[in-house]
């Protein structure tokens, strides 16, 4: 299987498809696919959850078996592989410098592949990643089943900003939790990529913290915001995400600093597609919004209210908003109420730029709304466009 310092890909593929021992997606095959191809079957630190008693049959509680595997990985800075199946479980605690790896096969409507399904409505969360710096979560589908109250899918709850967390959530689906899909409290340095956070009772991702990369994700159909940062927050790159059909804002930032919000698709938010608000007396500062598409916002907002807007900038400072496209609309299939009432609403801006955005049929009542308030040094326009006329 290995020739010199390289892997024989043909032999590896044959093993995946059931030949050469018949281990379909077994530990040996997955270890060959590990970054750098350095992990070998049976190596200390490369663990198979089945060897700790996990069944994944959707009937038996696998909490203890999975926790034993995670604890063993924590002793070696190792990785736990969880084969495809449905693993009923409660609260699981992850450890620093470890990995929990599954096979991603989930689709837009729900979990498949390696599924960790919540079985304890009293749990605070399913995966607890508090103080688990250097953690990787990859290829998992987490299903909350709507159990309990305020149960998060993935929860980091650091008591303080102790050190860089440096965790990675990659190619995971987190759906149907009664709380947030991912709740990060005092997170410092992290990435969430290629994942789907959807149909949760709270936010798709709730952030208190900074230094994050949030790239190429789905935030869909959450009961609150798709992404929300309501407490201290800063230094986030938010790029190439699809944020849609969330019941409140698609993207809410309160008093944030140092965001790059580029190349995202914001569709059918319940309130504003993007809202930059103050947190107490703290304004949003140094934020760039470029190349985004904001479409049919304000689905649940009161017509004529400022929640029925594509973009709301409240007393922001040093914000660049340029090169975005805005469009009004209604539900798929020509159903539902037309929205939003307004395109871009702003108040009390300082040293901001809002220009060269395309507002073609971007709103029903007004394209730009200046609410006044103290502010200076801002450049507004040109922003070409026209209102949508509904017959």
* Dist CA 160 CA 40 (whole Å): 37
**Domain identity same for 139 and 281:** no
**Domain identity same for 208 and 238:** no
Mean of per-residue pLDDT scores for the chain = 91
* Dist CA 340 CA 245 (whole Å): 14
Residue 176 falls within a domain, yes or no?
yes
**Domain identity same for 175 and 250:** no
Residue 23 confidence (pLDDT) above 60 = no
Of 366, 372, 234, the closest CA to residue 314 belongs to 372
Residue 322 falls within a domain, yes or no?
yes
**Domain identity same for 70 and 202:** yes
Residue 26 confidence (pLDDT) above 90 = no
**Domain identity same for 141 and 161:** yes
**Domain identity same for 65 and 189:** yes
Residue 135 falls within a domain, yes or no?
yes
**Domain identity same for 209 and 60:** yes
Q: Give pLDDT, residue 43.
A: 64
> Cβ contacts of residue 254 below 8 Å, gap of 6+?
229, 230, 231, 233, 277, 278, 279, 282, 284
Question: Mean pLDDT, to the nearest integer, of 351-361?
Answer: 98
Domain end call among 165, 191, 213: 213
Q: Give pLDDT, residue 21.
A: 33
CA 146 to chain centre: 18
Domain end call among 213, 237, 263: 213
Q: Give pLDDT, residue 375.
A: 81
Q: Is 216 exposed, middle or buried (0-12, 13-18, 19+ CB in 10 A)?
A: middle
Q: pTM for the complete prediction? A: 0.90
68-113 pLDDT, tens digit per residue, is 999 999 999 999 999 999 999 999 999 999 999 999 999 999 999 9
253-278 pLDDT, tens digit per residue, is 999 999 999 999 999 999 999 999 99
- Banded model confidence at residue 42, pLDDT cuts 50, 70, 90: low
Q: Give me the domain span that covers residue 235.
A: 225-391
Residue 281 falls within a domain, yes or no?
yes
Contact at 8 Å (CB) between 360 and 335?
no
298-338 pLDDT, tens digit per residue, is 999 999 999 999 999 999 999 999 999 999 999 999 999 99
Contact at 8 Å (CB) between 152 and 183?
yes
Of 323, 269, 332, 326, the closest CA to residue 298 belongs to 269
Residue 11 falls within a domain, yes or no?
no
**Domain identity same for 361 and 324:** yes
**Domain identity same for 102 and 251:** no
Number of domains observed in the structure of the chain: 2
**Domain identity same for 209 and 349:** no
Residue 378 falls within a domain, yes or no?
yes
130-157 pLDDT, tens digit per residue, is 999 999 999 999 999 999 999 999 999 9
Q: Is 113 helix (H, G, I), strand (E, B) or coil?
A: strand
Domain end call among 213, 238, 272: 213
DSSP string, 319-342: EEEES-EEE-EEEGGGEEEEE-SE
* Dist CA 83 CA 116 (whole Å): 11
Q: Of residues 123 and 46, which shows the higher confidence score? A: 123
Residue 101 sits in a domain whose CATH number is 2.160.20.10
6-15 pLDDT, tens digit per residue, is 333 233 233 3
**Domain identity same for 194 and 257:** no
Strand partners, 124: none
**Domain identity same for 159 and 242:** no
DSSP string, 288-321: EEES-EEES--SSSPTTSTTSEEEEEES-EEEEE
Residue 295: both structure tokens together: 């479409």
222-265 pLDDT, tens digit per residue, is 999 999 999 999 999 999 999 999 999 999 999 999 999 999 99
């Amino acid at each position: 299987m290995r020739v010199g310092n390289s892997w024989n890909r043909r032999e590896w593929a044959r093993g995946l498809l059931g030949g050469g021992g018949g281990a379909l997606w077994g530990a040996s095959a997955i270890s060959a696919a590990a970054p750098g191809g350095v992990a070998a079957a049976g190596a200390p630190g490369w663990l198979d959850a089945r060897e700790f008693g996990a069944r994944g049959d959707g009937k038996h509680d696998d909490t203890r078996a999975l926790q034993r595997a995670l604890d063993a990985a924590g002793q070696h800075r190792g990785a736990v592989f969880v084969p495809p199946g449905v693993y009923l479980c409660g609260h699981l605690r992850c450890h620093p410098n470890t990995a929990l790896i599954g096979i991603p096969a989930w689709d837009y409507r729900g979990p498949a592949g390696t599924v960790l399904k919540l079985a304890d409505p009293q749990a605070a969360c399913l995966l607890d990643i508090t103080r688990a710096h250097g953690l990787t979560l990859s290829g998992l589908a987490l299903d909350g089943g709507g159990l309990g109250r305020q149960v998060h899918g993935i929860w980091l709850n650091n008591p303080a900003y102790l050190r860089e967390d440096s965790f990675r959530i990659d190619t995971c689906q987190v759906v149907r939790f009664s709380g947030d899909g991912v709740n990060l409290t005092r997170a410092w340095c992290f990435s969430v990529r290629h994942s789907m956070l959807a149909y949760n009772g709270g936010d798709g991702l709730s952030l208190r913290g900074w230094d994050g990369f949030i790239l190429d994700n789905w935030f869909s159909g959450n009961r609150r915001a798709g992404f929300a940062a309501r407490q201290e927050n800063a230094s986030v790159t938010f790029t190439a995400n699809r944020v849609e059909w969330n019941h409140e804002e698609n993207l809410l930032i309160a008093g944030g600093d140092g965001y790059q919000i580029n190349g995202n698709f914001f569709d059918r938010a319940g309130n504003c597609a993007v809202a930059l608000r103050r947190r107490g007396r703290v304004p949003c500062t140094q934020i760039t919004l470029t190349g985004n598409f904001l479409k049919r916002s304000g689905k649940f907002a009161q017509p004529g209210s400022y929640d029925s807007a594509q973009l709301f900038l409240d007393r922001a400072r040093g914000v660049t908003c340029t090169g975005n496209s805005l469009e009004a609309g209604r539900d798929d299939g020509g159903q539902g109420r037309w929205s939003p009432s307004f395109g871009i609403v702003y108040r009390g801006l300082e040293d901001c730029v809002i220009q060269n955005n395309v507002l073609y049929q971007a709103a029903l009542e007004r394209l730009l709304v200046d609410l006044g308030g103290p502010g200076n040094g801002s450049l507004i326009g040109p922003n070409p466009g026209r209102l949508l006329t509904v017959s």
